[in-house]
Chain A
């Protein structure tokens, strides 16, 4: 069981209250009509699957029902940080301590 800090409730809560919602920071193209099928498919379907640090979207389903972002290590399950929507991660793969 993971303990996850919800940045809106400002508390550590049980994993049971949350549901994961895939990769974070996916920006919808501003000009979809000008994209090729491949570019559009890349936006719709193609997701990162890194070994190590990953930025994910989570939903506090049973709490405040807000989406937020999480930086998590997919190997160790260690949660580096959680942060609100619209914010950028302070921990990124390039800073990772090997």
Chain B
């Protein structure tokens, strides 16, 4: 994307950049918005050997075909959404080049859609992050049912979200643009007990 275009993340109005380092009441939860990443929605047949090898050629990693799994490479992070659907997250501004590479490598019945503007990513971490997750979602966040690297499509504060566990106390949330303000307000409210720090 050209630099002359003024990009605004869905949480532009919250001015998170100016809040960095500020914290309330202990700061038990850390919030960071991974904004402006390229999001590509990828659809194809996971049984198609050519489709799988084409993906591997572009990203250098195997497509995560098992339910609720993810894969991270140098170029992209890929999460499983459905048996025939994945979300590919790439560096800011590189989404068009990656899309062209995919179109050059893949043949047959597949779809690549740039949905970068439709969603944003929040990273939640900190000593009390599990408490915030537990009060926001019905999913079981115990390490046995939600190990590191697993991705779950579920609800977060009743809004749809894809939650990926990066570390024991670090989660990545892919949320819709239209729900981002609501979730930002929810996170502030949910962290009143343990405190929130913007990083």
Contacts and interface: CB of A to CB of B under 8 A. Distances in A.
B81 interface: yes
Interface string A38-64: 000000000000000000000011111
Contacts of A65: 81-82, 85, 153
A13 B155 CA distance: 10
B161 to A, nearest CB: 8
B76 to A, nearest CB: 20
Interface in A48-98: 60-66
Contact of A14 (B67, B81, B138, B153): B138
Which range holds the interface residue count of chain A?
10 to 19
B83 A63 contact: no
Interface of A: 1, 8-11, 13-14, 16-17, 60-66
Interface residues of B, number: 15
Contacts of B154: 13-14, 17, 62-63
Contacts of B147: none
A74 B160 CA distance: 28
Contact of A64 (B83, B138, B158, B161): B83
A87 B83 CA distance: 16
27 contacts: A1-B138, A8-B83, A9-B67, A9-B153, A10-B67, A10-B68, A11-B68, A13-B154, A14-B139, A14-B155, A16-B138, A16-B155, A16-B158, A17-B155, A61-B160, A62-B153, A62-B154, A62-B155, A62-B160, A63-B152, A63-B154, A64-B67, A64-B81, A64-B82, A64-B83, A65-B81, A66-B82
